[in-house]
Amino acid sequence: EDLDQYINIAEGRMSRKVFWERDIYEQELEKIFSRAWLFLGHTSQIPKAGDYVTTSMGEDDVLVVRQKDGAVKAFLNTCPHRGNRLCFSEVGTARGFICNYHGWSFGIDGALRGMHESAAYEASGFDKSKHGLHEVAQVDSYKGLIFGTLDPTAPSLKEYLGDFAWYLDTLLDMDGEGTEFIGGCVKSVMKCNWKFGAENFVGDIMHAGWTHDSAAQAMLGGSVGELGKAPDSYHVNVNGHGWEFNLDKVGNTATFGDKEVRKYIHEIQPKVAERLGHTRSMMIGSVSSATIFPNMSFLPGQNTFRVWQPRGPGEIELHTWTLVNKSAPDDIKERYRRGTMITFSPSGVFEMDDGENFEYSTRTNRGRVTREQDLFLGLGMGSKIDHPEFPGNVFQGQINEANQRAYYQRWLDFMKAESWDDLPQR
């Protein structure tokens, strides 16, 4: 099938079918989620040997465990005997994992250690060493963020992130002290296609001035409509990862209106400038949003981190966390936590606005004729510029769809590529 029919970047249009068709979704699980580097967690969640979190990679459930030597391994969270789910808790510390069904027990390294009625297995010539947990092919981290890929032939995480890491440092490496997730993971279900969240965060500041205007006026006493029109503003993207930001308004998204958090951002900005240079220091806490392809997003000003976990073409599980600088005072950390809950949690004012849009943008495509109609993706055509400092593809102006185009171009690249050699550098 000709996948090019679904996305036409040059003409700025795309098919609605990518948000609805089951066979496209199944291809996404195979071509994207079984190959790309996917976010698994933050190192602060599993500091000690035996600490674990459970999550998923596409629809494959996984168990992520800190090993005795300090490394992190991940395994499919399923028992290789009859396939029962192995670990049911979301987070914890364990010396091993025992399956509920027939009592197979596994070490934190994934090896099968023993079985209930072990003599019967021995009499059957059973070789324990061949029945450990299926290990996620590669696990690596970048400044606290742990990623994994199910594909042993995938390039390194460093290569996968490429020049996007330069931008990530404005969030993950402000002062050399590192970051941490605080509080737990907040989970919710939305009846929407997984790509709507990812593409919204990759570059859609425009919706904020319209969708979120009432909520912002209620919280801030002013409109957010002007925020995305900052003169010194950009869309940047590298291999489908994208970030939209401006350099005019340091700290102005700091949990929407929390004066103490804004003060904190302004206080640390000169130190960030010493470490990362003046330009990058101007990105901290400004109105911005970003996505790491395919499904991990964050708001650098709000400090909400999230993964849009696919659950069929029309449903997601949204997993969110709050990220803070380790060195931040406790009071500031608590303000960030409250700020993300007020804004981007299931009961947060902005999450609710977005959820409704994402759900109806998905649901309308149940119509057979509706599904045949294309969508527009052409805002900001011709806005590409050269910038003396910014790596990757740089576009002038935050009100733009350059990053959405780059995101869907990468989607198309992955869907068409037979191997990593077929994936162009973008």
Residue 168's identity, in one-letter code, is: L
Q: Order of strands across the sheet with 38-42?
A: 38-42, 145-149, 138-142
Q: Is 207 a catalytic residue?
A: yes
Q: Find how far residue 143's CA is from the centre of its chain.
A: 15
76 part of the interface to ligand FES, by CB under 6 A: no
What is the C-alpha separation between 349 and 358, in angstroms, rounded? 15
231 cis-preceded (ω within 30 degrees of 0): no
81 part of the interface to ligand FES, by CB under 6 A: yes
What is the C-alpha separation between 21 and 44, in angstroms, rounded? 38
Work out how close the CB of 83 gets to ligand FES at its nearest, in angstroms, rounded to a whole number: 6
104 part of the interface to ligand FES, by CB under 6 A: yes
What is the C-alpha separation between 109 and 189, in angstroms, rounded? 32
- Mark the segment that binds ligand FES (CB under 6 A) among 76-84, 293-301, 352-360, 362-370: 76-84
121 part of the interface to ligand FES, by CB under 6 A: no
DSSP 266-319: HHHHHHHHHHH-HHHHTTTTSS-EEEETTTEEEETTTTEEEEEEESSTT-EEEE
Task: Tell me whether strands 91-93 and 289-292 are parallel, antiparallel or unpaired.
Answer: unpaired
Question: Which one of 22, 68, 102, 416 is in contact with ligand FES (CB under 6 A)?
Answer: 102
- Mark the segment that binds ligand FES (CB under 6 A) among 29-37, 99-107, 152-160, 246-254: 99-107
Residue 106's identity, in one-letter code, is: F
Question: Which one of 82, 263, 326, 384 is in contact with ligand FES (CB under 6 A)?
Answer: 82
278 part of the interface to ligand FES, by CB under 6 A: no
- Mark the segment that binds ligand FES (CB under 6 A) among 94-102, 245-253, 295-303, 361-369: 94-102
Catalytic residue among 4, 23, 102, 116: 102
- Mark the segment that binds ligand FES (CB under 6 A) among 100-108, 150-158, 168-176, 252-260: 100-108
Question: Which one of 67, 84, 141, 357 is in contact with ligand FES (CB under 6 A)?
Answer: 84
- Both tokens of 168, joined, read 């990530």
- Where residue 390 falls (left for φ over 0; alpha for ψ -120 to 50; beta otherwise) is beta
Q: Is 241 a catalytic residue?
A: no
Work out how close the CB of 418 gets to ligand FES at its nearest, in angstroms, rounded to a whole number: 35
120 part of the interface to ligand FES, by CB under 6 A: no
Sorted by sequence, the CB contacts under 8 Å of residue 40 that are 6+ apart come out as 53, 55, 57, 62, 64, 74, 139, 146, 147, 148
User: Residue 99: what are its φ and ψ, rounded to 5°?
Assistant: -75, 135
Q: Please, what is the Cα angle at 357 between 351 and 360, to 5 degrees?
A: 135
What is the C-alpha separation between 202 and 295, in angstroms, rounded? 10
99 part of the interface to ligand FES, by CB under 6 A: yes
Residue number, 99 or 150, with CB nearest to ligand FES: 99
Question: Which one of 21, 44, 101, 121 is in contact with ligand FES (CB under 6 A)?
Answer: 101
Catalytic residue among 212, 235, 241, 319: 212
Catalytic residue among 134, 207, 266, 387: 207
Residue number, 41 or 107, with CB nearest to ligand FES: 107
Work out how close the CB of 102 gets to ligand FES at its nearest, in angstroms, rounded to a whole number: 3
- Mark the segment that binds ligand FES (CB under 6 A) among 79-87, 172-180, 185-193, 287-295: 79-87
What is the C-alpha separation between 263 and 244, in angstroms, rounded? 23
106 part of the interface to ligand FES, by CB under 6 A: no
Catalytic residue among 204, 319, 353, 413: 204
Helix (H, G, I), strand (E, B) or coil at 364: helix
Question: Which one of 79, 190, 399, 423 is in contact with ligand FES (CB under 6 A)?
Answer: 79
Helix (H, G, I), strand (E, B) or coil at 344: coil
Encode 70-104: b = buried (16+ Cβ within 10 Å), e = exposed: eebbbbbbbbbeeeeebbeeebeebeebbbeeeeb
Work out how close the CB of 110 gets to ligand FES at its nearest, in angstroms, rounded to a whole number: 14
> How many residues form the binding site for ligand FES (CB under 6 A)?
9
**Site for ligand FES, rule CB under 6 A:** 79, 81-82, 84, 99, 101-104
Catalytic residues: 102, 204, 207, 212, 354
